[in-house]
């Protein structure tokens, strides 16, 4: 059974419908990238898959159960989320924020265990933020703050991880480091990862499965090699380009014409 899927999913905000009647199957144990132009519905779809946005039609299921009917604590134990614009409480430090990723695994009395300590330490180390633990979040640069939020998501230690544009504010080196980390988590521990990305070249290099969206619909999905063509890039992004093989990874690489 596929763990996370959507059938006939319709989502929107206020009076505006953004995506309509989408069927999405998240491939277990794979890295899926959702790509498309601005305002095409990428983040809306991810929010729907994570239950941050209630379905107006259709349903999202997790392990065969309607996600809308599950307890928040049960969902948080298996599904981690990094939203597009997370907000930290005033005055909170890096250590406190990353530690909050462990809340779903703790009882009413928030008893801290060795497993909690190890999960937080590993998340800080993996994201290169261990030296920031005593710093207030408000004092960090945009890139540092983004890596701390990723650390919190990793500390949650879930089998399913959904990330909405996690490379925002990161320089190219940290973008690649983060995507390599996610790829490593996938290959070594089998985590299922869904990630919204703007950079199509990075999406091609680091994902197994690509979902391309335009105007609230899915226009193509499959492996990057099967999906990414000059015609698709023109249709989705309005960009005339050439598709060549990445000289290192062999994946499709977009070269603007």
Tens-place pLDDT, residues 143-163: 899 999 999 999 999 999 999
Backbone φ, ψ for residue 220 (5° rounding): -165, 150
Confidence of residue 51 (pLDDT cuts 50, 70, 90): very high
Please, what is the angle between helix 142-155 and helix 172-189, to 10°? 10
Confidence of residue 73 (pLDDT cuts 50, 70, 90): confident
Q: What is the pLDDT of residue 149?
A: 93
Question: Which stretch of DSSP H or E encloses residue 52?
Answer: none
Residues of 141-164 as b/e, b for ≥16 C-beta within 10 angstroms?
Answer: eebbbbbbbbbbbbbbbbbbbbbb
Task: Classify strands 252-256 and 241-245 as parallel, antiparallel or unpaired.
Answer: antiparallel
**pLDDT over 80 (residue 219):** yes
Q: How far apart are CA 82 and CA 142, in angstroms?
A: 15
Tens-place pLDDT, residues 21-37: 999 999 999 999 999 99
Instruction: State pTM to two decimals.
Output: 0.91
């Amino acid at each position: 059974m596929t763990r996370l899927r959507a059938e006939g999913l319709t989502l929107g905000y206020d009076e505006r419908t953004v995506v309509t009647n989408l069927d999405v199957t998240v491939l277990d144990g794979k890295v899926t990238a959702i790509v498309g132009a601005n305002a095409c519905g990428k983040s809306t779809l991810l929010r729907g898959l994570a239950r941050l946005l209630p379905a107006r039609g259709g349903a999202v299921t997790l392990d065969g159960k309607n996600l809308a009917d599950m307890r928040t604590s049960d969902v948080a134990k298996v599904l981690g989320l990094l939203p597009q614009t997370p907000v930290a409480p005033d005055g909170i430090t890096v250590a406190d924020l990353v530690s909050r990723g462990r809340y779903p695994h703790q009882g009413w009395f928030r008893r801290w265990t060795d497993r909690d300590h190890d999960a937080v330490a590993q998340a800080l180390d993996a994201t290169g933020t261990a030296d920031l633990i005593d710093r207030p979040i408000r004092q960090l640069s945009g890139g540092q703050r983004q890596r701390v939020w990723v650390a919190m998501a990793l500390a949650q230690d879930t089998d399913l991880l959904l990330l909405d544009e996690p490379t925002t504010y990161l320089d190219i080196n940290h973008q690649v480091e983060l995507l390599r980390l996610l790829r490593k988590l996938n290959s070594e521990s089998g985590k299922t990862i869904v990630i919204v990305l703007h950079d199509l070249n990075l999406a091609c290099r680091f994902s197994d499965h690509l979902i391309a969206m335009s105007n609230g619909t899915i226009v193509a999905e499959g492996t990057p090699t099967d999906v990414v063509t000059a015609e698709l890039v023109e249709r989705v992004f309005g960009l005339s380009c050439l598709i060549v093989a990445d000289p290192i990874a062999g994946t499709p690489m977009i070269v603007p014409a």
